[in-house]
């Protein structure tokens, strides 16, 4: 069943891409758009991702996270790097995103996360049973008239073994919404994993998340924010209360 779902998603994407390209009537040529370079630096009291937080993978303390993003025309690519202060969580993640339009995008990211053995692990090992890579394919869709976003993500390469020896294709689906009130921003998300895998030991709602954010600027080129976030995983019965701050530097 899971392989049928993944197969359908992969086959369905070219149809969407062709349809969106056909409807794209922008008079501005792609080559006229300049390259944009942005650096994000973030401090968070706990790294949290798709229902996974405090523990042996992401540590049990604050983390520093950074991203450098290059964006031109419909392509966005860059590198995410992060580490927790307790020396448990360490990761480097190159990524590439193709923005079909303002609503629809597809992406591939290679989450290399060996943790404490970051400098001793083999970065070229993509073995399904041994690798420290989690190569994640995901797609997002934003509705035009309502503040609703959809996401589907599946691990397609690297560590993700199934009990019978094949690939599990651990997956995550999310519905989220964002509302802005001046400098304030409120958001919420519901995330589910459709089958047993890396996200949980069983299918179910693995991420209930709400976030309140205040946006401010220290200068024209450094927009920033502070935030608080509450999360709950209904499968593990585990909750988090997280706070953090993000600083953005627009280089170009």
| pLDDT value at residue 155 | 97
Nearest one of 241, 153, 149 to 199, comparing CA atoms: 153
pLDDT at 163: 83
Per-residue pLDDT band for 2 (boundaries 50, 70, 90) equals low
* pLDDT, average across residues 221-249: 94
Q: At residue 3, does pLDDT exceed 70?
A: no
Buried b (16+ CB within 10 A) or exposed e, 116-137: eebeebeeeeeebeebbbbbbb
Q: Do 235 and 206 form a contact (C-beta atoms < 8 A)?
A: yes
**17: pLDDT confidence band, cut at 50, 70 and 90?**
very low
- Tokens coding 240: 């988090």
% of the chain exceeding 70 in pLDDT: 87
Both tokens of 226, joined, read 């502070």
Q: Which residues, listed in sequence order, are joined to residue 184 by a DSSP beta bridge? A: 181, 214
Per DSSP, the three-state class of 203 is: coil
The model's pLDDT over 32-90, given as tens digits with 9 standing for 90+, comes to 678 999 999 999 999 999 999 998 889 999 999 999 999 999 999 999 999 999 999 99
Which tokens go with 27?
């008079």
Q: How far is CA 213 from CA 18, 137, 153, 220, 221, in A?
A: 36, 28, 25, 19, 19
Q: Is the dihedral of CA 217, 151, 26, 14 positive or negative?
A: positive
Residue 14 predicted with pLDDT over 50 = no
Q: Is the pLDDT of residue 19 over 60?
A: no
Q: pLDDT per residue over 175-223, tens digit each? A: 999 999 999 999 999 999 999 999 999 999 999 999 999 999 877 778 8
The pLDDT value given to residue 71: 95
Which pLDDT value is given to residue 11?
44
Strand partners, 154: 137, 171
Across all residues in the chain, what is the average pLDDT? 88
Q: Does residue 154 have a pLDDT over 90?
A: yes
């Amino acid at each position: 069943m899971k392989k049928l779902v993944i197969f359908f998603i992969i086959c369905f994407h070219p149809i969407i891409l062709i349809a969106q390209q056909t409807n794209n009537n922008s008079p501005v040529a792609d080559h006229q758009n300049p390259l944009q370079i942005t650096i994000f630096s973030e401090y968070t009291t706990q790294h949290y991702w798709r229902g996974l937080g405090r523990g042996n993978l992401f540590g049990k303390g604050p983390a520093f996270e950074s991203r450098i993003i290059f964006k031109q025309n419909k392509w966005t690519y860059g590198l995410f790097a992060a580490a927790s202060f307790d020396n448990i969580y360490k990761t480097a993640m190159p990524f590439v995103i193709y923005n079909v339009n303002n609503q629809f995008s597809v992406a591939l990211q290679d989450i290399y996360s060996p943790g404490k053995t970051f400098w001793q692990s083999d970065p070229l090992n993509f073995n399904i049973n041994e690798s420290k890579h989690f190569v994640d394919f995901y797609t997002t869709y934003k509705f035009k008239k309502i503040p609703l976003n959809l996401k589907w993500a599946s691990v397609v390469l690297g560590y993700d073994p199934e009990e019978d020896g094949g690939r599990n294709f651990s997956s995550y689906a999310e519905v989220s919404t964002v509302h802005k009130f001046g400098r304030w921003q409120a958001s919420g998300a519901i995330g589910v994993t459709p089958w047993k895998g890396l996200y949980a030991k069983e299918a179910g709602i693995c991420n209930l998340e709400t976030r309140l954010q205040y946006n401010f600027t220290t200068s024209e080129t450094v927009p920033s924010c502070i935030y608080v976030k509450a999360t709950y995983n209904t499968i593990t019965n585990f909750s988090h209360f997280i706070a953090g701050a993000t600083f953005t530097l627009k280089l170009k």
